Amino acid sequence: MVVDRALCSHASPLGQTLETMTKRTAEIMIYLNSSSIRAVDYAGNHLFVQFHTSDKFYDHPGVPYSIFVELVNATSPGIYYNQHIRGRYR
């Protein structure tokens, strides 16, 4: 799911609007030293990923916290994302 700032009126499963989630996410993103991933955040079993190619936040629900920690600590976050997250959590 892509969280687009222009389309922020739907309610989330957490009882927040996507606008609230996007604002919150934008305030506490963890910026990574990665050529593909700009920043990440984790809230309520949701992993939010922002790539260098877009200002959109990609929401991956159901991601375990341990996967988030491994992504942040990965030598190559982009490779880790492609091998362990992309296509597995939607």
Question: For the chain, what are the domain ranges?
Answer: 2-84
What 3-state class would DSSP assign to 53? coil
* pTM of structure: 0.70
pLDDT for res 81:
97
- Tens-digit pLDDT string for the chain (90 aa): 443 333 333 334 444 444 444 454 455 789 999 999 999 999 989 999 999 999 898 999 999 999 999 999 999 999 999 999 999 987
pLDDT for res 44:
87
Sequence-separated (6 or more) residues with CB below 8 Å from residue 68: 40, 42, 47
Q: In what order do the strands lie in the sheet with 57-61?
A: 2-3, 57-61, 46-51, 37-43, 30-31
Q: Helix H segments across the chain? A: 18-28, 65-73, 77-84
- What confidence tens digit (pLDDT) does each residue in 69-79 have? 999 999 999 99
